[in-house]
A and B are shown apart, each in its own frame.
Chain A
Amino acid sequence: MRIRERRLIVAFYTTHDAMAFEDFCLDRGIGGRLIPLPREISAGCGLAWSAPPGDPAGLRALLAEAGVAPQHMKEMDI
């Protein structure tokens, strides 16, 4: 198994929002990637953004700049 690490996870209302945020981050060289939605956030399926931990305010600001409303945001070990 892979070693679990601390990450800041963002869930989205739509896949379109997830893709918009990935596009925004890729354009600006912002770290992070799309991952399968962890079950701790929602027992469904879908995409979440996995970012380095420690700066939820900064991530919220980026989401606002991208025009994307997060459904959930949580720091967790994954």
Chain B
Amino acid sequence: MDERYGVGIDIGSTCAKTVVVDGDGRILWRDLRPTGWSSVDTAGAIRRDLTEAVKDGALVRFVATGYGRVSVPFAHRCVTEISCHARGAAGQILLMKEYPMIYLDNAATTMTKPACVVRAVTEALTSLGNTSRGAHEGALNTNRLLYRTRKKLADFFGCPRSEQVVFTNNSTEALNIAICGTIHRGDHVITTVLEHNSVLRPLYRLEKERGVQLSFVQADRLGRINYSDFERLIQPNTRAIVCTHASNLTGNMLDIDRIGKIAAAHGLLFILDASQTAGATPVHMAKSGISLLCFTGHKSMMGPQGTGGLCINGDVEVDPFKVGGTGVQSYLTEQPREYPTRLEAGTLNGHGIAGLSAAVDFIAATGMDAIHAHEIALCRRFYEAVVSIPKVRVYGDFSSWNRCPVVALNIGETDSAVVCDALACDYGIATRAGAHCAPLMHRALGTEAQGAVRFSFGYFNTAEEVDAAIEAVRDIAGRN
């Protein structure tokens, strides 16, 4: 077991107080000195002096308080006197016992990336020029990277043409391009109440700006939909079905084969938001009849933030969302029509894409089935333990484990933000509270006011971490 220390630094307006405690709360070192003119310099001096009290290699958790707390850049947490008084000093000291953080917010982003992704990004930072901007080796290296990554992603998602894999910064950008580039004035679109705002807001905008009509497939209190609603809602001017593969709140997964067949039978575009599934659940555009697939690189794909893409199936025409420099056909006054250039104005995130490419390799080497099985096993372990804890309400349909590794819950009537903060501060467990950018899903679940605490599991989580989260939920439920 590594040695652990808690360090509390209070940078006050006149003096700075520091205390070092060990894992059992024993005071090992204390210090009092004038804050002086520069609280930053004072914090730096304290840190240097701390080396006498804290052994090399020990795990240290810093908590900073006082008006000058922002001057302690190495603090793991800065808190006000008010929060100290509210929670008590002991609550703050507890922070050190949870080091390192148990990260259960993988549906927001996977925080731990495979080592090969880290290496790829690091190497790219000193080896890539700008794609399509020159024919020197630096630029060509980036061209080659993008070309190979497009091919990998086309195989990965069953996209028939690799030149129709378009890089974007995230799913939101891909969805904006897909939705705004294919839905025209007077069109009708069918979507669902499971959607994230990355789908809803582009649609609402088109409703306002282009007179687009929207219809929503509703969900019941378990977040389930009725698939026949898609057919029932089709109108003569229906252009597309736009929906998520899985709810980011409940983890409920939709049957995209079924939706794809409905879209194909009625000649509709099928635009899929695969933000929550890409990388951990197989998605095959050709097999599922997906016209436009939008994915992000930083969640289940375990790539860097700022990566993602739009895959275009067949001859779907997507108007560019942005126009500008492409490095080719520079004397054209309009954006070149050819994919992927049509939709990729401006310098791409080559460094991030290098990481995404490595992430795809990691998933292929590890096996998507193995990744999904591990994540679902953790999710199931958590669900089956918390569902029977008194006062705990779990949201979503757990009748099948063909779902995303997400469990959203509430404890009694306590504000989800309060539970989430207690998990973070008292147990070192990172979760997500609030609305999760899914307003209609919360409305359907009846959780608009309270929100929900979302636990989402990733490939690098362990059973021990899940057990700690279970005990934390039990503990908080017992106190409320």
Chain A interface residues toward B at CB < 8 A: 13-20, 22-23, 34-36, 42-47
Asked if residues A14 and B328 are in contact (CB atoms below 8 Å), the reply is yes
Alpha-carbon distance A12/B148, docked complex (angstroms)? 18
Q: Who on chain A is nearest to B136 by CB?
A: A36
Asked if residues B162 and A46 are in contact (CB atoms below 8 Å), the reply is no
Known contacts A35-B135, A36-B135; decide if A15 and B328 are in contact (CB<8 Å): yes
Which residues does chain A contribute within 8 Å of B346, judged by CB atoms?
none
Q: State whether the Cβ of B218 lies closer than 8 Å to any Cβ in chain A.
A: no
Our pick among B131, B144, B331 for the contact of A44 (Cβ within 8 Å) is B331
Which residues does chain A contribute within 8 Å of B134, judged by CB atoms?
36
Q: State whether the Cβ of B2 lies closer than 8 Å to any Cβ in chain A.
A: no
Which B residues from 32 to 70 make CB contacts under 8 A with A? none
Asked if residues A47 and B135 are in contact (CB atoms below 8 Å), the reply is yes
| Number of interchain pairs (Cβ within 8 Å) | 59
Asked if residues B327 and A16 are in contact (CB atoms below 8 Å), the reply is no
Q: State whether the Cβ of B227 lies closer than 8 Å to any Cβ in chain A.
A: no
B165 smallest CB distance to A (angstroms): 9
B310 smallest CB distance to A (angstroms): 15
Alpha-carbon distance A41/B131, docked complex (angstroms)? 21
Q: Who on chain B is nearest to A16 by CB?
A: B163
Asked if residues A15 and B329 are in contact (CB atoms below 8 Å), the reply is no
Asked if residues A34 and B135 are in contact (CB atoms below 8 Å), the reply is yes
A25 smallest CB distance to B (angstroms): 13
Our pick among B140, B150, B327, B340 for the contact of A46 (Cβ within 8 Å) is B327
Which residues does chain B contribute within 8 Å of A13, judged by CB atoms?
338
A44 smallest CB distance to B (angstroms): 5
- Taking chain A's interface residues, is the majority helix, strand, or loop, or is none over half, making it mixed? mixed
Which residues does chain B contribute within 8 Å of A35, judged by CB atoms?
135
Question: In this complex, which of A20, A44, A45 has the most chain B Cβ atoms within 10 angstroms of its Cβ?
Answer: A45
Our pick among A16, A22, A42, A45 for the contact of B150 (Cβ within 8 Å) is A16
Alpha-carbon distance A54/B162, docked complex (angstroms)? 32
Our pick among B143, B328, B332, B336 for the contact of A19 (Cβ within 8 Å) is B143
Q: State whether the Cβ of B146 lies closer than 8 Å to any Cβ in chain A.
A: yes
Which residues does chain B contribute within 8 Å of A19, judged by CB atoms?
143-144, 146-147
| Cβ contacts B162-193/A at 8 Å (1 or 0 each) | 11000000000000000000000000000000
Q: Who on chain B is nearest to A26 by CB?
A: B144
* Additional 12 contacts, C-beta under 8 A, given A14-B163, A14-B341, A15-B327: A14-B339, A16-B150, A16-B162, A16-B339, A19-B144, A34-B135, A35-B135, A45-B328, A46-B327, A47-B135, A47-B143, A47-B328
Which residues does chain A contribute within 8 Å of B163, judged by CB atoms?
14, 16-17, 20
B350 smallest CB distance to A (angstroms): 13
Q: Who on chain A is nearest to B330 by CB?
A: A44
Which B residues from 297 to 341 make CB contacts under 8 A with A? 327-332, 336, 338-341
Asked if residues A43 and B331 are in contact (CB atoms below 8 Å), the reply is yes
Q: State whether the Cβ of B198 lies closer than 8 Å to any Cβ in chain A.
A: no
Alpha-carbon distance A22/B327, docked complex (angstroms)? 18
Asked if residues B132 and A46 are in contact (CB atoms below 8 Å), the reply is yes
Which residues does chain A contribute within 8 Å of B133, judged by CB atoms?
45
Which residues does chain A contribute within 8 Å of B143, judged by CB atoms?
15, 18-19, 34, 47
Which residues does chain A contribute within 8 Å of B332, judged by CB atoms?
44
Q: Who on chain A is nearest to B161 by CB?
A: A16
Asked if residues B140 and A34 are in contact (CB atoms below 8 Å), the reply is yes
Asked if residues A44 and B147 are in contact (CB atoms below 8 Å), the reply is no
Which residues does chain A contribute within 8 Å of B146, judged by CB atoms?
19
Alpha-carbon distance A19/B327, docked complex (angstroms)? 14
Alpha-carbon distance A39/B331, docked complex (angstroms)? 12
B142 smallest CB distance to A (angstroms): 10
Question: In this complex, which of A19, A22, A42 has the most chain B Cβ atoms within 10 angstroms of its Cβ?
Answer: A19
Alpha-carbon distance A35/B147, docked complex (angstroms)? 17
Q: Who on chain B is nearest to A18 by CB?
A: B143
Question: In this complex, which of B134, B148, B328, B336 has the most chain A Cβ atoms within 10 angstroms of its Cβ?
Answer: B328
